[in-house]
Amino acid sequence: MIGIIGAMSQEVAKLKAVMSGVEVENRAGMEFFKGTINGKEIVVVRSGIGKVNAAVCSQILADCYHVTAIINTGIAGSLRNEINIGDIVLSEDTLQHDMDATGFGYPLGHIPQMDQSVFEGDKRMIEAAKACCARVVPEIGVHVGRVLSGDQFVSDIVKKAWLTETFDGYCTEMEGAAIAQTAFLNKIPFLIIRAISDKADDSAEMDYEVFEEKAIKHSVKLVLALLETLD
């Protein structure tokens, strides 16, 4: 069983529409849609926003659905000039930029009493997703790099510069590292796939509805192609 954590309701609805034998279960206030696509067992869910929702959702995927992989799709703010709105970032690795136990002697971003605070995306899934992007959304720029997560919507040039300098991130969002940490603790391979919706500064003027529609279309195409490559 493969777990898919989507960000947008239409994205989940589109995946649900191509699933067979859909069963819905409500857990922790989240709807889990279980079924098959081309004979492959999947469970699709919207976690809601933020690291706590994302971690709770991922742990349910581990405990109740015994997923063998987790794919997370969503949007993110770009932290690099060369990463444009509409591009896709695949998680080479991910960390929590708001984990701060410096007063306790730990470097920024380090989780106290854990050996690891940076969680690597599954290499096979990254390569498969790269190949799928080239095939199904060839017009989109694809970047493999570090995804930063925190319980903050970043829309400030100073904060953006600090994030880029401190953690060398490609993009910033609000769930990926929590999903990654939960996946790591449960020994489940994962991949975070983010479509860039803004530049994480105060300049980002965009037509969100047009962007969202495109992002959903790309994300559904990509997830369907990626599912074909996974066991």
Q: Contact letters (x/-) for ligand ADE, 26-65, by CB under 6 A?
A: ----------------------------------------
By CB under 6 A, how many residues form the interface with ligand ADE? 12
154 binds ligand ADE, rule: CB under 6 A: yes
CB atoms within 10 A of CB 137: 20
Question: Which CB sits closer to ligand ADE, 42 or 174?
Answer: 174
For ligand ADE, the closer CB: 4 or 76: 76
The one catalytic residue in 11, 122, 173, 212 is 11
- Shortest distance in whole angstroms from residue 154 CB to ligand ADE: 4
SS3 218: helix
Helix boundaries (H) for 66-197? 123-136, 157-167, 176-185
Question: By CB under 6 A, which span of 9-17, 98-106, 139-147, 172-180 interacts with ligand ADE?
Answer: 172-180
What span, in angstroms and rounded, lies between the C-alpha atoms of 117 and 119? 6
Q: In the complex with ligand ADE, which residue's Cβ is closer, 56 or 75?
A: 75
- Measure the CA–CA gap between 163 and 100, rounded to whole angstroms: 13
**Helix, strand, or coil (residue 32):** strand
The candidate with the shortest Cα–Cα distance to 64, out of 50, 43, 35, is 43
Q: What does DSSP say about strands 119-120 and 142-149: parallel, antiparallel, or unpaired?
A: unpaired
Strand partners, 35: 42
Q: Cβ distance 59 to 187 under 8 Å? A: no
Q: Which of 18, 153, 161, 202 is close enough to bind ligand ADE by CB under 6 A?
A: 153
Neighbour count for residue 20 (Cβ, 10 Å): 9
Binding mask 96-135 for ligand ADE (x = CB under 6 A): ----------------------------------------
Which range of residues in 37-45, 87-95, 126-134, 147-155 is near ligand ADE by CB under 6 A?
147-155
CA distances from 163 to 5, 101, 192, 196 (A): 25, 16, 19, 16
Task: Examine the residue annotation and report whether 11 is marked as an active-site residue of this protein.
Answer: yes
Q: Which CB atom, from 58 or from 172, has the smaller least distance to ligand ADE?
A: 172
Residue in 53, 173, 177, 218 binding ligand ADE, rule: CB under 6 A = 173
Residue 191 binds ligand ADE, judged by CB under 6 A:
no
Q: Which of 87, 122, 198, 212 is catalytic?
A: 198
| Distance of alpha carbon 98 from alpha carbon 51, whole angstroms | 11
Query: Which of the residues are catalytic?
Result: 11, 198
List residues near ligand ADE by CB under 6 A. 75-77, 153-155, 172-174, 197-198, 200
